[in-house]
Structure 1
Amino acid sequence: MAKPSRSKSKTAAKSPVSKSSGPTPALLQKHPVLVTAGIFLVLMLIFFFAAIFQGKTYATPDAQAAATITAPLDKILWQDRIYPQWMPYIFGGMPSFASLTYNPFAYFPDLPLYPLRRMLAYALHYVLAGLGVFLFLRRKSADYLPALLGGLAFMLTPYLITMTIFGHGSQMMTTAYLPLALWAVDRLLEKFSWLNLGLTGLIMGFMLQRGHVQIAYYGIMFTGLYVIYHAIAALRRKENKKILPMLGGYMGALVLALALSAMLYLPLQEYTSYSIRGSASVLQPASGKADTGVGFDYATQWSFSVGEMMTFIIPSFYGFGGATYWGNMPFTDYPNYMGILVLGLAVVGLFKRVPQAGFFALTIVLALLISFGKHFEFFYRLFYDYFPYFNKFRVPVMILVLVQCSTAILAGLGLQALLQPLAAGEPREAEARARRALIAKRLWLAAGLIFSVVLLFTIFRSSFQEFMSGIYPDRYELATQARLDERRVGMLLGDMWTIAGLAAVGLAMIALAYTHKISPKTAAVVIVLATLFDLWIVDKRIGNPPVSEASKRALLQPDEVAQFLQKDSGLFRIYPTLDLFGEMRWAAQGIHSVGGYHAAKPRRYQDFLEATDLQSGLMNDYFEVVEQNGQRGLRPRAEEAIPAARRNALKHWLDMLNVKYILSFFPLPEENWVNRATVSFNYGGNNYPLMILENTTVLPRAFLVGNYEVHAENLAALSRLASGEFDPRDAVILSEAPGIAPQPDSTASAVIKEYHLHKIVIETASAFPQILVLSDTYYPTGWHAFVDGNPVKTHVANYCFRGVEVPAGKHQVEFRYASRAFTAGVWLSLGALAVCLACIALGRRRNSV
């Protein structure tokens, strides 16, 4: 079976060009992959020209948040020569490496790519995405131009472009490996060899290493389904002897890939049980099976809908980002468009039953059904409840990358199937000529029909707009809604004319080729160029144009808030109120906050925030929503309207959290929250006065207590903490009784001598045994406690923080961060890399003999 395939491959490589076509075709004939890579690279350099060559960047909230949290970690990495694994800047501190927030060089290709501008590294991954489809299509005997079309279609898929523009580079780079992994697995299934085993393990390992776990998971599903599909096909052909090598080869490559990415995934696995992605909230109703995932409702946010499949055909059918988008996935600024000719040719590929059409059809249907999430709850729950780790993911629409990759491959195979019969020239038989003429006539009629339909919509625009306005949701007052609906319909009609023109070009090219007015190659060239134009103009509408990198640098510079806070040399946290609770910008200056944003927050800390409602930023306590002139806003609530018990509880919680400063747009009526400064703060592009209130009763980050309460059940401990009746100055809540007998001691003291990323040193002095409370997140697999150099147990203190038993007298308590999973992962990854490279070298050596 292997020999005929290689023979077909050679034939396919020669078919697109002719020996008499001059030097360029000769280069293409000799180095088709190199030429294609060059074409793809030039296109991406042009597309991202401003970001690569003019010092500009895409200023999106996600990209800015990532920049602010990585800035202090970069400084520690390069100035202090410490590889950061922890970040104290958000929540109560959390792993930076194990949470996939910051993991430089865990993706091994980053080593050679590091000197390059980041956007250039992204551009190279787009090239990789296109080449993966191109190589797979060539393996399936596609000629050069159909393979080029498929690669181009996937590389310029709007969703992939969106990932980079909106700051999801790891998602894009992981996606880029999907077709390349499929190509490598296809090689391995055809012939098991050391070369193919090492190559597949390396490619899939890099896909996993890139760090977007959800896309990598989909990649394993994609390639695994491909193996199963081929195994079933072999079984039906009664080629039972091939099944075991297929499965064994794939499993061997998968083991290598997992080992190669162990540096990333072992710490991730270690952290998962402590994060919202891997453990159920104690606040979850205790009925039925505990949900150890992110929660079904949270997991199915951003579920695709059947209606939005219209964006496969018309990009702006659901608007195009911002206020114009009217679907049910908030902040969606792109369409799931794949190109009208690409979609049409993919359908042709399915009807023509091109190679692996069944597999790609199955993948598309399966991925679509999963993407519907809550809109097809029964089906999604099958995966959420029973597939390992599937319940850790959210945003079901993300799986559409498999639809887009499969569609691009089918489009290339579809174009090949259409044009291949024409390669022999005009048929001699009159019946065959008549049949082709009839096909051409129908294609011309189809093109005319498409134009007629769009023309009718344009002529009767007012009726069309009235109809669409009845579909669009009413979210604004009448005049604003009317203007928005008119804008949406204008975009829709504009896209309909563009789609009609492109469809007509594609149909015309095939019709002309079938009547031998032009060559099949000319038709293919025009279709490729039309697809390039189609995707290019849609991609250029995504997001805002890049801005000067000076704006990014300005974001990392201290604003007036940071300048004031940096005058305080002590160790403290801030509590940003209202919408500022999720703000990350001050992390760039190394300022610690009780808030922030992360998709995998520490579970215990999240439970604490929810139980106390601190994550609302005091909105539900000190403010009330008002409406004025159709606008919703906030105003301070009357002091007497706020329950005294609630106010007292809030003060206890903020004291315990080491919150020394509260950031608020409004005055807050607490005597111990004193306004120290009012600074100008840029919020949403406008400057507002922001008050910096000092909490004068704040507890230090580390303090000693002589009383304790034992609550073995997590819910009981959290309920006691959240009751408002518990005072952290008087006692500490533990999950088990300590081995000492602490007593109250007014003379006891705890002084932090060192507070570094991976090491905290505290000196204590007391007349009686005490419990040392450190209001940093409890994470025992990373942080280990020592008293006078001897290892001791770290207790869960106050539900989500750390506690250590300290004997009477003077002692030195150390907390050291050391992840065994990280160390083991590094060695496993390096070992797997050596094995993969050895397999490839051995395979190449055997092939050369």
Structure 2
Amino acid sequence: MKNDLVKKILPHIIAILIFLVVSVIFCKPALEGNVLHQDDIVGWKGMAQSAFDYKEKNGHFPLWNTNVFSGMPNYMIAMDGKSVMPNMNKVLALGLPEPISFFFLACISFYILCLSFRLRPVVGIFGALAFAFATYNPIIITAGHVTKMYAIAYMPFLLAGLINTYEKRYWLGLSLTTLGTYVLLNANHPQISYYFFIAAAIITISYLFIWIRQKEWKHLGIAFGVTVLAAIAGLATTALNLMTSTEYAKATIRGGTNVAIKGDSVTANKTDGLDTDYAFSYSLGRGEELTLLMPNAYGGNGREPGNEDSHVIEKLTAKGMPEANAAQFAGQFGKFWGDPGSSAGGPFYSGVIVCILALLCFVLYKHPIRWGLLAIAVLGVMMAWGKHFIGFNMFLFENLPLYSKFRSPSIAMTIPQFIMPIAAVLALQVVFFRNNAQELLKADFKKILYALGGLAGLLIVIYLMMSYSAPFDSQVLDQLKQNTGSDDMGRAVIAGLKEDRKALFGGQVLRTIAFIALTIGLIWTFMKNILKPIVAVAIFTAISFIDLYSVDKTYLNEGNFRSPDEQVAQTATPTAIDQQIFADKDPHFRVFNAGNERFSSSDYHYPTFHRTLGGYHPAKLRIYQDVIERYLNGQDSREILNMLDAKYIAAVNPQNGQPLLIPNPSAYGAAWLVKTVQTVNDDAAELQAIGRTNLRDTAIVQTSFAKNIAQPQSDSAATLTLSKYDADEIEYNFNASTPQFAVFSEIYYPLGWNAYIDGNKAEYVKADYALRGLSVPAGKHTIKFVFEPASYKKGLAISFTASIIVLILILGGLFMAWKQSRK
């Protein structure tokens, strides 16, 4: 009995050890105490630093962050939750440090999926390594897309739960589906989760086809009930994220706009969701989906320099340019020749062996799921094309629920990246481990030859038919024509670049054909009983992993790691300018970074130490983005800087290139009383008016707020002073003998900020397009603004309750599955 148990457990222990060893070897510097320099994580820490400082002082995160974009909800940057669930990222990854944990977790997740398909452990090891080390994963880890990586890693886990349910292992299915839903959704990357649920829906339809054909109505009902119960429970645990994000999205660039801004012109233009140009700006170029199979078909990561033997040199020397000059000139052109918006920092490479085997799945695997997998992969590519397949994707953008909230269509390539290893392991199981595998393989061998021969032939045809033009060729041609006064040099350069691209693509085609021949050879040796099935699969695993490892190391290697001290020194050390600003003890002022990176992911330094007008977030408040586009993206408006209380402007001295701090004594301060309120009809008129009005004396308010506006009456002795400034609560002292209208240099956000005059709730309005305005009666008053979003309180309560239910379903399902297995 014990020997049987050991035989059952041993393969899984070996698999776990393999996943652990390869993950550690791949990320060896992490065990030496080094950390990845991830731009997005560095940027996030800069945005969140004030919140962490607040938590250290007060024991909890603030709900509002005052250090970025003149203020925004902090729960969109860092948030406290409440749950009985342990940190499943650490539990499932055995507490391993990042980035080792990412790869190990992805391996374990996919291995569980393979076991759910009842595949052999050796096949599961192949699939797990192929999925975890698909090249896009180290690329996004290096960039710091941590939530995306967690979401990708958990997709197989949730699918494992669904497969167990669909295969009538209901208790285990309930447990895994509940846990899978919980970990995937709490990874908090809605776009990846959205893509997964599209894939899961198509796979479910594949199973529905069988159930309906076999009239398994009872099973259909039970499977539906288990899936819905697990999905609702898992979804409810995200209520805090879901409710706050949904509420916030309405007020952001993802919720649409009311204005169109072109230069100095502002017109009314109401839209829903993201602007289509912005939404489709990161689209995969047509043809670049071939990087799933051929990693360098389009030149790799976009930063790799051109070849020393570039045909550009040959063309330029033929035009009379000295060879040294031609070589230097040619070096400025990188190898990448795809759509500039599609490059994720490298290819979406799933492994050539993986793609070849996936093709065999679609030919040999008889379950209807193969057509579902094929449909998902094709759909993912079509979605990733974005603007390059505009008719189809505009239809999705306008009709698919929530689809218009997402940008970067190229991320949809994570769908085929997920599907290819699934199809590959199903093919391995069919080829090597079905009953009478060798005999059946003899009957199928012609199909294999036709399929793989067809793939090779298709690649050759593509190689011969491609134009090898790049989207930016016309720009290169125009630039060279301007510099030389003739287009001869430009045409020579483009001709040389095309020859380079053709050679690069051709080399990748030959590489793929070599792997096709290798695959056929391994299958033939098994068919002839030269290799045992386990040995053949082990060879496939070794070849596939070595191939992926060699490509992955281009994008994540020792050069990406730094010592913690070096990381801190480069990202969190105050400069001389910071020290100057620290000397100002005024409780309320902001700093404006006038550099080019003011609203980009690299603008993390100033928010780390100061309240700023800038920062980076993929979903900025719409009203603030409008102010940025109209007034702060070029010739910065001093009036706008004043109303946002930009007391200091950080710039660069044009004479010596050194950082320069410019005081702005005309900044209006925390709040002020105006002499008059001017009303306008809509957002467009309001946005234009603030740029040509003395906002110190006149407040601009829309007529829709008229019932809450009282024109101020003259009182030269009236005062309004800031008495308390906390992230979530601001207090002012007011004293006037006549009614006044106050403008507060705080961002208008009615979805949580409430105003109180002497403890009684008061209605405030949107003033000066982005700020808060309030009519105050005569007398002495205490004015408070308190951030108390109902969505946060309700979401916190629902999430905590749901976490208890999820824990019960997970443990209860596992217990019942174990009990059932005992029988």
Alignment match of 1:515 (pick from 528, 545, 555): 528
8 Å contact kept, 1:299–1:391:
yes
Contact 1:105 1:111 in 2 (8 A): no
Of the two structures, which has the highest relative contact order with CA contacts closer than 8 Å and spacing of 6 or more? 2
Q: 1:760 to 1:481 in 2, by over 3 A?
A: farther
Q: CA deviation at 1:444?
A: 12
- Report what 1:567 is aligned to: 583
1:403 and 2:427 correspond: no
Give the Cα–Cα distance (whole angstroms) in 1 for the partners of residues 444 and 228 of structure 2.
Answer: 47
2:614 aligned partner: 595
1:209–1:261 contact (8 Å) kept in structure 2: yes
Counterparts of residues 412-811 of structure 1 (less than 5 Å): 412-420=425-433, 424=436, 473=473, 499=512, 502-542=515-555, 545-554=560-569, 555-570=571-586, 571-582=588-599, 583-610=602-629, 612-614=630-632, 616-618=633-635, 650-665=637-652, 688-722=657-691, 724-734=692-702, 735-738=705-708, 740-811=710-781
**Counterpart selection for 2:21 from 42, 53, 74:** 42
Partners of 2:724 and 2:731 within 8 A in 1: yes
Give, in angstroms, the shift of residue 361 of structure 1: 0.9
Shift, 1:334, TM fit: 0.9
Given that 2:131 and 2:417 are in contact with CA atoms closer than 8 Å, whether structure 1 keeps it comes out as yes
5 Å matches for 1:123-138? 123-138=100-115
- State which drifts further: 266-275 or 734-743: 734-743
Corresponding position of 1:344: 356
Moved more, 590-599 or 131-140: 131-140
Offset of residue 367 of structure 1: 1.5
1:332-371 to structure 2, matched below 5 A, reads: 332-355=344-367, 356-371=369-384
Q: Deviations over 1:48-101 (max 9, x none)?
A: 121x2223233243232112112222222233312232211222211121x3x2
Cα distance between partner residues in 2 of 1:112 and 1:311: 30
2:60 corresponding residue in structure 1: 82
Judging changes above 3 Å, is the alpha-carbon distance between structure 1 residues 799 and 759 closer, same or farther for their aligned structure 2 residues?
A: same
State the partner residue of 2:131: 154
SS, match of residue 781 in structure 2: strand
| AA in 2 matched with 1:606 | Q
Change over 3 Å in CA distance of 1:245–1:378 after alignment to 2: farther
The residue type paired with residue 768 of structure 2 is N
Structure-2 residue corresponding to 1:642: none
* Counterparts in 2 of 1:414 and 1:491: CA distance versus 1, 3 Å: same
Percent of matched pairs sharing the same residue: 25
Letter of the 1:377 counterpart? I
Over the residues paired in the alignment, what is the CA RMSD in angstroms? Answer: 3.7
Report if aligned partners of 2:731, 2:783 keep a CA contact under 8 Å in 1.
yes
Does structure 2 conserve the Cα–Cα contact (< 8 Å) formed by 1:62 and 1:167?
yes
Q: Is the 8 A contact 2:718 2:737 kept in 1?
A: yes
Query: Which consecutive unaligned segments of at least 5 residues does structure 2 have?
Result: 304-333, 481-489
* Conserved? CA contact 1:188–1:196, under 8 Å: yes
1:140-174 superposed Cα distances (whole Å, 9 cap, x missing partner): 23222222211111111111221211010000001
- Whichever residue aligns with residue 558 of structure 1, its letter is P
CA–CA separation in structure 2 for the residues paired with 1:437 and 1:280: 58
In structure 2, the residue matched to 1:312 is 292
Q: Name 1:324's counterpart in structure 2.
A: 335
In structure 2, distance between residues paired with 1:192 and 1:524: 28
Q: Would you say 1:103 and 2:116 are equivalent positions?
A: no
231-240 or 533-542, which moves further after superposition?
Answer: 231-240
Shift of the alpha carbon at 1:768? 1.9
Q: Which amino acid aligns with 1:613?
A: Y
Aligned length: 759
Offset, 1:803 = 1.7
Q: Is the 8 A contact 2:175 2:812 kept in 1?
A: no
1:305–1:453 Cα change, 3 Å: closer
Q: CA deviation at 1:409?
A: 0.4
Residues 14-33 of structure 1, C-alpha deviations (whole Å, 9 max, x = no match): 9xxxx9xxx9x985632444
Deviates more, 1:389-398 or 1:489-498: 489-498
- Distance in 2 between the 1:103 and 1:540 partners? 34
The answer to whether the 8 Å contact 1:661/1:694 transfers is yes
**Inter-partner Cα distance in structure 1 for 2:290 and 2:737:** 74
Q: Measure the CA separation in 1 of the matches of 2:447 and 2:565.
A: 57
CA distance in 1, matches of 2:229, 2:92: 34
Equivalent position to 1:67, from 18, 22, 45? 45
Deviation at 1:207, TM superposition (A): 0.9
Distance 1:239 1:114, change over 3 A: closer
String of CA shifts for 1:220-267, please: whole Å, max 9, x gaps. Answer: 222233333322432233334443333333222221121011121111
Q: Quick check: 1:293 aligned with 2:273? A: yes
Q: Which residue of 2 aligns with 1:375?
A: 388
Match of 2:164 among 187, 194, 200: 187
Partner of 2:617, secondary structure, is coil
Q: Secondary structure at the match of 1:120?
A: coil
Matched, 1:164 2:141: yes
Give the direction of change, closer, same or farther, for the CA distance of 1:602–1:340 in structure 2 (3 Å limit).
same
Measure, in 2, the Cα distance between the counterparts of 1:453 and 1:360: 26
Tell me the distance in 2 between the aligned counterparts of 1:287 and 1:692. 35
Question: For residues 607 and 135 of structure 1, what CA distance do their matches in structure 2 show?
Answer: 47
Gaps of 5+ in 1: 1-13, 458-463, 622-649, 668-677, 681-687
Report the 3-state secondary structure (helix = DSSP H, G, I; strand = E; otherwise coil) of the residue aligned with 2:698: coil
Shift of 1:342: 0.3
TM superposition shift of 1:114: 10
Partners of 1:659 and 1:695 within 8 A in 2: yes
Once the 2 structures are TM-superposed, how far is the Cα of residue 579 of structure 1 from its aligned partner? 0.9
Structure 2 residue aligned with 1:267? 244
Deviation by residue 1:697-722 (Cα, 9 ceiling, x = unmatched)? 11102122242123353333223224
Q: 1:470 to 1:75 in 2, by over 3 A?
A: closer
CA distance in 2, matches of 1:115, 1:772: 54
Give the direction of change, closer, same or farther, for the CA distance of 1:844–1:149 in structure 2 (3 Å limit).
closer
Call closer, same or farther: CA 1:338–1:244 in 2, change over 3 Å: same
What TM-score does the superposition give when structure 2 sets the normalisation length?
0.84
1:237 has 2:214 as partner: yes
Q: Is the CA contact (8 Å cut-off) linking 2:732 and 2:783 kept in structure 1?
A: yes
Q: 1:812 to 1:32 in 2, by over 3 A?
A: farther
Give, in whole Å, the separation in 2 of the partners of 1:756 and 1:785.
Answer: 14
Q: Deviations over 1:368-402 (max 9, x none)?
A: 21111111122112221122211100011112112
Q: What is the deviation of 1:824?
A: 1.2
Task: Judge conservation of contact 1:762–1:813 (CA < 8 Å) in 2.
Answer: yes
Instruction: For 2:471 and 2:405, locate their aligned partners in 1 and report how far apart those are by CA, in whole Å.
Output: 35
Instruction: Classify the secondary structure of the residue corresponding to 1:804.
Output: strand
- The separation in 2 between residues aligned to 1:490 and 1:113, in whole angstroms, is 46
Whole-angstrom distance in 2 between the partners of 1:41 and 1:566: 47
